Structure 1
Amino acid sequence: MAASAVGALASVNARTFYANLVRPEWAPPGWVFGPVWSTLFLSMAIAAWLVWRAPGQNNARLLALTLFIVQLVTNALWSWLFFAWHLGGVALAEVLLLWLLIAATAFAFWRVTKVAALLLLPYLAWVTFASALNYMLWRLNPVILG
């Protein structure tokens, strides 16, 4: 919830900002992002809870939950880079790092409980899509997203 709130602070004007960008035809309307992210954060929370509650494997759980926290911080930072600071290229590099961290977290979760890892797959898929969208928005809006 904290990561979601930190990202939301940076996204206060996101709807207007996004609406004013030149977008590719395949870009979703702005209203889609709220429900998608709410669902993804819920599935992430359940996945982390499953890992936290898993019996035994203390070192594997610690690594998995550490990766989870690092990717959450990275997730929150993206909103600041893109929406608050309008750094499209930096946001792109950061979202690619986020993708790697989510994949590493899913792999670490898999070692603890497979269900938790599977719960992260929609998140990984969405960040894959978001990476492509970030790239296109950056390229289509060089003045705004320099």
Structure 2
Amino acid sequence: MMTNKNKWKMIRSIAVPLIGGTIAGVLATRSAKAKYQHLERPKFAPPSWVFPVAWTSLYTTMGIAKYQFDQKSQKGSLQTYGDITYSTQLGLNYLWSFLFFRWNLRGTALVDAMLLWTSVNLNTYYFYRKSKLAGTLMLPYAAWVSYAVALNYATW
């Protein structure tokens, strides 16, 4: 049974990526839908409505993964590396929207996306080493970022 303390930890773990992603999205992509419609997109590009649905799901899942990772009581380098890669991938994730939509820096956004891909995969590895559930919960995010890199490249 989950204690009240653990419920709040889980809520916080989910809220951090959801709120951060929402703030970054609102600030960076105010006219993203219109810009996206005018971009020369590859045939495999999804309709614009897919992005908020996908990101809401992914941010929620990554928050649950972070909670699961933090629940395993193990201090040391694995915890540190997991925390660093988690924070890094969140920062790169938030930055991408500004680079791609707000500042129209498609090439720089692609570099960011490749760094994001690397940090997400490292983060998934560290999470999995400590908690198989946490690592597994990160797999849809890793897959989506792989797709996003291809989409960013094709758009650039």
Normalising by structure 2, we get a TM-score of 0.84
Deviation at 1:62, TM superposition (A): 2.5
Q: Retained in 2: the 8 A contact 1:4–1:76? A: yes
Deviation at 1:12, TM superposition (A): 1.6
1:47 is matched with 65
1:23 is matched with 41
2:54 is matched with 36
Question: Using the alignment, how far apart are the partners of 2:20 and 2:116 within structure 1?
Answer: 14
Structure 1, residues 76-134: CA drift from partner, whole Å, max 9, x if none?
00000000000000100110010000010011111110110111111011111111110
The Cα RMSD (Å) is 1.2
1:70 is matched with 88
- Identical residues among aligned pairs (%): 38
User: 1:100 is matched with which residue: 115, 118, 132?
Assistant: 118
Question: Using the alignment, how far apart are the partners of 2:32 and 2:74 within structure 1?
Answer: 43
1:125 is matched with 143
5+ residue gaps, structure 2, are 1-17
Question: Using the alignment, how far apart are the partners of 1:57 and 1:136 within structure 2?
Answer: 42
Deviation at 1:46, TM superposition (A): 0.2
User: 1:110 is matched with which residue: 118, 122, 128?
Assistant: 128
Deviation at 1:57, TM superposition (A): 3.6
1:144 is matched with none
1:10 is matched with 28
Aligned length: 138
5+ residue gaps, structure 1, are 139-146
Deviation at 1:58, TM superposition (A): 4.0
AA aligned to 2:120 is I
AA aligned to 2:32 is A
Question: Using the alignment, how far apart are the partners of 1:120 and 1:30 within structure 2?
Answer: 23
Deviates more, 1:49-58 or 1:96-105: 49-58
